[in-house]
């Protein structure tokens, strides 16, 4: 569905500048995701850290003609543009989605809750649009379902989701997520649900609410005008709130205990195959049952929520019994892996539908550009048949074709008969089609894949795992999993302390604190950080070779590396006269002038740097009498910003720096950036942010500043774990009491024990001092102490009493076992543990 620009202006109550007639089909809030410029309406949103107005020139150049703005730019520069001026572009986005929603008289399900929203939404989608799981009854009773892509459930994500409703839509499924009181009313007006689903009430975002009740009441606001709500009646807080809210519609509570509900769960049984469960229920007086291919508690509860909702929406008990066993797990990550022959594999195991294809292509596109702007690796898409009910194959694959074109797909490999039948429609430079995966992997198309960015997107039943298995580099069982989305979230957490124009240096020295500098740099570059900082020139060279174009600062330039600095556009730190003179000589020899350098002052660390009192006059004098170098920034480093204990000393350091750096600045007419805060400094002394900050450990998810003040510590709990070091159990054995484990018999068992061997040793970075029960890892969530001396490549752990088997996953540190637990045991700092993970441990990157 499209709207004329005039209509849009009326709907959002905007004042229009410009007179080009355009139509609006796509809404854009992030300039990087631009796809169909002519039909795009860009909303210049202002957030704490960014301002969409900045991107108007670039977007105009790329063909966008319609903008919603708060401030109208100089119209002469944009002769063909329309600017719709409103007091708040975000509110206008929400308004427009709201008016769009008004056009539809169909069931709309609003889903909220602390956990399980996305799973419930996806499963409802699978159940209602049964074609998606390929059932026989799908033909006769499947619905065209429009739903939020992935977990677009925020104040921006919800309007973008609702905008996807189109003429064919028969049901809408939308998630609503809130993190603060007061947000739900806005989302309710946009979604206007006719049915409400409350999944569960966990502890997420609790910090911003006074009580669970307050949070629950806020969530229930979404359902105010719905005809029915589905909710877990066994949760006392939920049922109390439903009663208190005076809700007037039909209450479909589900319960495993009480008979006095619409949906009574009679029994949940694990089936003998040990991978499925059978759920028997009574809904409105009728007893029936279904089977799901899962046994975990969350899946069981989510399936019950889905069953109650689907029955209310008109699915029959037979439909449920037929479709429930076909539910597919909801994986929500995009995995980036190095493949053989220079391939980069991007595996999107998310549901195979057209919207998620576009999101995945967007991601791949950005990675391609990030790795090499001039010569990006060609993008190859391996795509199976897409199941989407209600739409003609022709229109579906026409959309695929458009997406491929807009996202620069160079090669399409289609797997399945349906996509092959539409081959003529798909306009991609190179195309190949195969009946199934087996035929593909035996073809020369497969064996000739090389030096490409490959996106794999296949419906589950096509078994794309086989392709990944064959293309992946063989992985040592020990891996470091790196969550790139967490890096971005952490970056944003620290940005929220800064003024919008404060610049950010991200420290990616020591291979990005062990997480892997290249992928981290791509992610940071994509998120527009101002500088990346490495320790030595070679680290910078590796980044440049990987296509990183961002500014790079080198903290420890060696005397031998100057030519490399110039060749690869790396900006050195300068900390002494000796270094400065050598650098000037080298620059002159190469005929270089105006090379940017970063001047370090020593204010108390007594490591490297000029003396801010004694050296400044001479420094100014020497800098002024040469043209080879130009001071770009001046900085110093706090010795104890992570602790209140050193507040006085920090103040002294700051005063010294302030004086020295001002003197330097006053000698030059260009602006010299001043910076001092590291991660802890950003949180502890945001008032000392000056022009720039240097973010290190916090980016990697370790809380840098342990404040005494408890209101701050709730804020701090928002950092996300980035790196998780994992391995698997190789072998298990019973060992008798009195026997020893490992070299030199250092652990003697005092009971009959079960001992597991894991393929990680001190050569991988597992500190040998953790052995002999000094430290532990987690096996299926339980503590398993290291026993015996840790060997070079293997360690032994005590798993007595833990339910586990060979092949099970073991967490060394990460999501469940914070790296600080290890560093505390080792009496060191988390930096040492993180950077100690050796190179032979394969890094695997993913994006939620
Ligand atoms: C490593 C480093 C940082 C980052 O410190 P974190 O404590 O990791 O935030 C900042 N500045 C300099 C000079 C550094 O060497």
Q: Note the pLDDT tens digit of each residue in 405-455.
A: 988 899 999 999 999 999 999 999 999 999 999 999 989 999 889 889 999
- 693 CA from centroid of ligand 1 (Å): 10
CATH 3.90.190.20 fits 336-471, yes or no: yes
Residues near 159 by Cβ (< 8 Å), separated by ≥ 6? Answer: 27, 93, 94, 96, 97, 98, 190
Query: Does residue 679's CB lie within 6 angstroms of at least one atom of ligand 1?
Result: yes
Q: Are 753 and 732 in contact (CB under 8 A)?
A: no
Q: What is the mean pLDDT of the chain?
A: 90
Query: Does residue 694's CB lie within 6 angstroms of at least one atom of ligand 1?
Result: yes
Active site residues: 509, 743
DSSP 200: -
Sign of torsion over alpha carbons 527, 529, 530, 534: negative
- 678 CA from centroid of ligand 1 (Å): 5
For the segment 95-103, the average pLDDT, to the nearest whole number, is 96
User: CA–CA separation, 130 vs 140, rounded Å?
Assistant: 9
The phi, psi pair for 723, rounded to 5°, reads: -110, 135
Q: Is the pLDDT of residue 390 over 50?
A: yes
- Within 13 Å and on the Cβ side, how many CA atoms surround 34? 20
Query: Does residue 641's CB lie within 6 angstroms of at least one atom of ligand 1?
Result: no
User: CA–CA separation, 125 vs 115, rounded Å?
Assistant: 17
For the segment 700-704, the average pLDDT, to the nearest whole number, is 94
Query: Does residue 701's CB lie within 6 angstroms of at least one atom of ligand 1?
Result: no
**6 compared with 844, residue with greater pLDDT:** 6
**294 compared with 616, residue with greater pLDDT:** 616
Query: Does residue 215's CB lie within 6 angstroms of at least one atom of ligand 1?
Result: no
Residues near 715 by Cβ (< 8 Å), separated by ≥ 6? Answer: none
pLDDT digit string, tens, across residues 1-43: 899 999 999 999 999 999 999 999 999 998 877 878 889 999 9
Counting residues of the chain whose pLDDT is more than 70, the rounded percentage is 93
- 47 CA from centroid of ligand 1 (Å): 27
Which atom of ligand 1 is closest in space to residue 697's alpha carbon?
8
Mutate to test the pocket of ligand 1, among 490, 493, 507, 524 (most ligand atoms within 8 A of CB): 507
Q: Is the pLDDT of residue 213 over 80?
A: yes
- 764 CA from centroid of ligand 1 (Å): 25
pLDDT-based confidence at 469, cuts 50/70/90?
A: confident
Partner residues linked to 572 by β-bridges: 554
pLDDT-based confidence at 174, cuts 50/70/90?
A: very high
**Which overall architecture, per CATH, does domain 3-91 show?**
3-Layer(aba) Sandwich (3.40)
Query: Does residue 692's CB lie within 6 angstroms of at least one atom of ligand 1?
Result: no
pLDDT at 711: 43
**116 compared with 595, residue with greater pLDDT:** 595
Query: Does residue 675's CB lie within 6 angstroms of at least one atom of ligand 1?
Result: no
Q: In terms of pTM, does the model score above 0.75?
A: no
pLDDT digit string, tens, across residues 471-515: 886 655 899 999 999 999 999 999 988 998 999 999 999 999 999
For the segment 363-385, the average pLDDT, to the nearest whole number, is 75
Six-digit token string for 63: 């063909």
For the segment 639-666, the average pLDDT, to the nearest whole number, is 96
pLDDT at 710: 40
**210 compared with 250, residue with greater pLDDT:** 250
pLDDT-based confidence at 194, cuts 50/70/90?
A: very high
pLDDT-based confidence at 663, cuts 50/70/90?
A: very high
Query: Does residue 169's CB lie within 6 angstroms of at least one atom of ligand 1?
Result: no
Which atom of ligand 1 is closest in space to residue 635's alpha carbon?
13
Nearest CA to ligand 1 atom 12: 637
pLDDT-based confidence at 708, cuts 50/70/90?
A: low
For the segment 704-710, the average pLDDT, to the nearest whole number, is 65
pLDDT digit string, tens, across residues 778-808: 999 999 999 999 999 999 999 999 999 988 8
Which atom of ligand 1 is closest in space to residue 678's alpha carbon?
9
Six-digit token string for 386: 């897409």
For the segment 189-209, the average pLDDT, to the nearest whole number, is 78
pLDDT-based confidence at 559, cuts 50/70/90?
A: confident
Q: Is the pLDDT of residue 659 over 70?
A: yes
Which atom of ligand 1 is closest in space to residue 704's alpha carbon?
7
Which atom of ligand 1 is closest in space to residue 642's alpha carbon?
7
Mutate to test the pocket of ligand 1, among 607, 637, 684 (most ligand atoms within 8 A of CB): 637
Mutate to test the pocket of ligand 1, among 556, 696, 834 (most ligand atoms within 8 A of CB): 696
pLDDT at 227: 95
Q: Radius of gyration of the chain from Cα atoms?
A: 29
Which atom of ligand 1 is closest in space to residue 694's alpha carbon?
10
- 489 CA from centroid of ligand 1 (Å): 19
Q: Is the pLDDT of residue 268 over 50?
A: yes
Query: Does residue 696's CB lie within 6 angstroms of at least one atom of ligand 1?
Result: yes
Query: According to the 3-state scheme, what is the secondary structure of 308-359?
Result: HHHHHCCCCHHHHHHHHHHCCCCCCCEEEEEECCCCEEEEECCCCCHHHHHH
- 96 CA from centroid of ligand 1 (Å): 45
For the segment 173-182, the average pLDDT, to the nearest whole number, is 85
pLDDT-based confidence at 102, cuts 50/70/90?
A: very high
pLDDT at 316: 92
For the segment 108-112, the average pLDDT, to the nearest whole number, is 95
Report the b/e string of 770-791 with b at 16+ CB within 10 A.
Answer: bbbeebbbbbeeeebbbbbbbb
pLDDT at 716: 41
Query: Does residue 507's CB lie within 6 angstroms of at least one atom of ligand 1?
Result: yes
pLDDT-based confidence at 201, cuts 50/70/90?
A: confident
Query: Does residue 302's CB lie within 6 angstroms of at least one atom of ligand 1?
Result: no
pLDDT-based confidence at 374, cuts 50/70/90?
A: low
- 562 CA from centroid of ligand 1 (Å): 23
Counting residues of the chain whose pLDDT is more than 90, the rounded percentage is 68
Nearest CA to ligand 1 atom 15: 555
- 555 CA from centroid of ligand 1 (Å): 10
Which atom of ligand 1 is closest in space to residue 679's alpha carbon?
9
Sign of torsion over alpha carbons 391, 393, 394, 396: positive
Q: Are 845 and 335 in contact (CB under 8 A)?
A: yes
pLDDT-based confidence at 350, cuts 50/70/90?
A: low
- 533 CA from centroid of ligand 1 (Å): 9
Query: Does residue 704's CB lie within 6 angstroms of at least one atom of ligand 1?
Result: yes
3-state secondary structure of 624: helix
pLDDT-based confidence at 463, cuts 50/70/90?
A: confident
Q: Is the pLDDT of residue 372 over 60?
A: no
Same fold, 3-91 and 723-846: no
pLDDT at 246: 85
Mutate to test the pocket of ligand 1, among 607, 683, 694 (most ligand atoms within 8 A of CB): 694
What ranges do the domains of the chain cover?
Answer: 3-91, 104-326, 336-471, 482-718, 723-846
Query: Does residue 753's CB lie within 6 angstroms of at least one atom of ligand 1?
Result: no
pLDDT at 807: 84
Nearest alpha carbon to residue 171 among 198, 187, 194, 189:
194
Q: Is the pLDDT of residue 714 over 80?
A: no
Helix-helix angle 354-371:517-526, to 10 degrees: 110
Query: Does residue 684's CB lie within 6 angstroms of at least one atom of ligand 1?
Result: no
Q: Is the pLDDT of residue 113 over 60?
A: yes
pLDDT digit string, tens, across residues 507-544: 999 999 999 999 999 999 989 899 999 999 999 999 99
Nearest CA to ligand 1 atom 4: 696
Residue in the block written with tokens 């833990």: 802
CATH match for 482-718 among 3.40.50.800, 3.20.20.10, 3.30.420.40, 1.10.3720.10: 3.20.20.10
pLDDT at 355: 73
User: CA–CA separation, 207 vs 717, rounded Å?
Assistant: 9
pLDDT digit string, tens, across residues 593-638: 899 999 999 999 999 999 999 999 999 999 999 999 999 999 999 9
- 585 CA from centroid of ligand 1 (Å): 29
For the segment 268-281, the average pLDDT, to the nearest whole number, is 90
CATH 3.40.1190.10 fits 104-326, yes or no: yes
The CATH homologous superfamily of the domain defined by 723-846: Lyase, Ornithine Decarboxylase; Chain A, domain 1 (2.40.37.10)
- 509 CA from centroid of ligand 1 (Å): 9
How far from the centroid of its chain's Cα atoms is residue 36's Cα? 25
pLDDT-based confidence at 208, cuts 50/70/90?
A: low
pLDDT at 135: 53
């Amino acid at each position: 569905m499209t709207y004329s620009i005039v209509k849009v202006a009326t709907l959002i109550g905007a004042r229009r500048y410009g007179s080009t007639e355009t139509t609006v089909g796509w809404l854009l809030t992030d300039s990087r995701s631009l796809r169909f410029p002519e039909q795009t309406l860009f909303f210049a949103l202002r957030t704490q850290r960014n301002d969409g107005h900045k991107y108007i020139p670039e977007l105009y150049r790329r063909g966008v003609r319609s903008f919603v703005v708060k401030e109208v730019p100089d119209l002469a520069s944009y002769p063909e543009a329309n600017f719709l001026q409103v007091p708040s572009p975000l509110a206008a986005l929400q308004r427009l989605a709201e008016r769009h929603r008004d056009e539809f008289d169909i069931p709309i399900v609003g889903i909220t809750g602390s956990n399980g929203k996305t799973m419930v939404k996806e499963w409802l989608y699978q159940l209602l649009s049964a074609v998606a799981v390929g059932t026989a009854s799908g033909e006769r009773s499947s619905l065209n379902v429009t739903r939020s892509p992935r977990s677009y459930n925020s104040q921006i994500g919800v309007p973008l989701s609702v905008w996807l409703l189109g003429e064919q839509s028969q049901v809408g499924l939308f998630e609503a997520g809130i993190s603060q009181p007061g947000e739900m009313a806005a989302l309710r007006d946009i979604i206007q649900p006719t049915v409400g689903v409350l999944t569960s009430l966990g502890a997420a975002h609790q910090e911003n609410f006074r009580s669970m009740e307050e949070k629950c009441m806020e969530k229930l606001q979404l359902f105010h005008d719905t005809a029915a709500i589905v909710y877990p009646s066994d949760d006392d807080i939920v049922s109390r709130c439903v009663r208190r809210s005076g809700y007037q519609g039909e209450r479909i509570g589900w319960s495993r205990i009480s008979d006095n509900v619409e949906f009574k769960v009679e029994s949940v049984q694990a089936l003998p195959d040990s991978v499925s469960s059978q759920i028997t229920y009574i809904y409105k007086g009728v007893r029936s049952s279904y089977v799901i291919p899962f046994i975990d508690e969350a899946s069981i509860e989510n399936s019950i929520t889905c069953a109650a909702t689907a029955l209310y929406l008109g699915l029959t008990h037979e439909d449920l019994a037929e479709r429930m066993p076909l539910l597919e797990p909801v994986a929500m990550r995009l995995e980036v892996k190095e493949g053989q022959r220079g391939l980069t594999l991007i595996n999107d195991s998310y549901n195979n539908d057209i919207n998620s294809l576009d999101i995945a292509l967007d991601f791949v596109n950005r990675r391609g550009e990030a790795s090499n702007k001039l010569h990006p690796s060609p993008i190859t898409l391996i795509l199976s048949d897409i199941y989407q009910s209600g739409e003609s194959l022709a229109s579906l694959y026409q959309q695929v074709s458009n997406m491929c074109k807009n996202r620069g797909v160079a090669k399409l490999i289609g797997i399945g008969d349906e996509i092959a039948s539409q081959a003529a429609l798909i306009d991609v430079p190179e195309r190949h089609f195969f009946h199934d995966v087996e035929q593909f992997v035996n073809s020369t198309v497969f064996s000739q894949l090389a030096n490409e960015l490959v996106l794999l997107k296949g419906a589950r039943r096509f078994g794309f795992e086989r392709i990944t298995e064959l293309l992946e580099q063989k992985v040592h069982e020990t891996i470091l999993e790196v969550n790139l989305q967490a890096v971005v979230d952490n970056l944003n957490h620290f940005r929220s302390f800064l003024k919008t124009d404060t610049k950010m240096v991200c420290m990616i020295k020591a291979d990005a604190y062990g997480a892997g500098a290249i992928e981290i740099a791509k992610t940071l570059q994509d998120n527009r950080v101002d500088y990346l900082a490495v320790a030595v020139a070679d680290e910078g060279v590796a980044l440049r070779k990987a296509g990183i174009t961002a500014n790079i600062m080198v903290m420890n330039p060696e005397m031998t590396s100057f030519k490399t600095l110039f060749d690869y556009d790396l900006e050195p730190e300068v900390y002494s006269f000796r270094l400065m003179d050598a650098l000037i000589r080298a620059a002159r020899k190469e005929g270089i002038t105006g090379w940017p350098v970063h001047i370090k002052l020593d204010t108390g660390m007594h490591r490297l740097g000029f003396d801010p009192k004694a050296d400044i006059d001479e420094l100014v004098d020497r800098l002024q009498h040469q043209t080879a170098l130009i001071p770009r920034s001046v900085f110093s480093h706090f010795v104890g910003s992570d602790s209140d204990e050193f507040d006085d000393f920090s103040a002294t350091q700051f005063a010294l720096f302030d004086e020295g750096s001002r003197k330097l600045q006053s000698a030059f007419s260009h602006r010299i950036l001043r910076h001092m805060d590291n991660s802890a400094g950003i949180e502890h002394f945001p008032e000392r942010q000056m022009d720039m900050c240097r973010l290190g450990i916090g980016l990697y998810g370790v809380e840098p500043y342990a404040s005494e003040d408890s209101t701050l510590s709730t804020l701090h709990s928002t950092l996300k774990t980035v790196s998780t070091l994992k391995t698997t159990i190789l072998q298990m054995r019973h060992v008798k009491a009195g026997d020893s484990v490992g070299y030199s018999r250092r652990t003697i068992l005092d009971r009959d024990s079960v001992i597991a061997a894991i393929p990680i040793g001190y050569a991988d970075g597992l500190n040998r001092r953790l052995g002999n029960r000094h430290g532990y890892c987690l096996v299926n969530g339980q503590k398993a102490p290291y026993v015996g001396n840790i060997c070079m490549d293997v360690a032994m752990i005590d798993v007595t009493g833990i339910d586990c088997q060979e092949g099970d996953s073991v967490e060394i540190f990460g999501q469940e076992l914070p790296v600080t637990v290890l560093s505390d045991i080792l009496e060191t700092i988390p930096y040492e543990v993180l950077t100690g993970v050796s190179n032979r441990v394969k890094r695997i990157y993913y994006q939620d």
